[in-house]
Amino acid sequence: MKKGLFIVGVFFLILLVVFRPEAPQVNKKTTVRIGPQTFKAEVFDTPSTRVLGLSSRKSLPQDEMVLFIFEKEDLYRIWMKDMNFPIDIMWLDKNKRLIHIEESVSPDTYPRVFYPTTKSLYVIETNSNFVLQHGIKIRDTIDF
């Protein structure tokens, strides 16, 4: 009898270890300043968060954004795989100067890939029309 209870206990312990629910990943937050305006940003600074990006999300809160931080400058490419809403995309160089903007990029553009012609270190994604509504332009410096 004791042996049977022991085996059942071990079985449940194995189930808990193998099938344990993963805690939802909570991304870092920061504040982004563009001119006199300040916004909340979710930080994507790991390979897994950068690959997932905003994919599969239903929306992004108004006047919030996501900030992709990379380890080195490169031609970072963005696509709309599994996206549910249009976005504005901004690429920044190592000095946090805006070098390229793609506005109102629709999920229907997938599998098209968007990227700047010069290397960037940061990418910001916002809701569509954010750039227009806030008067953001190439060569603006963005602080975070």
Q: Which residues pair with 51 in a beta bridge?
A: none
Q: The pTM is what?
A: 0.81
d(Cα 19, Cα 100) in Å, to the nearest integer?
44
CATH topology of domain 23-143: Jelly Rolls (2.60.120)
Give the distance, in angstroms, between the CA of residue 36 and the centroid of all CA atoms in the same chain: 24
Which position has the higher pLDDT, 100 or 1?
100
77-130 pLDDT tens trace: 999 999 999 999 999 999 999 999 999 999 999 999 999 999 999 999 999 999
pLDDT in tens, 115-134: 999 999 999 999 999 999 99
Q: Which two tokens stand for residue 58?
A: 């239903």
Task: Determine the pLDDT at residue 48.
Answer: 94
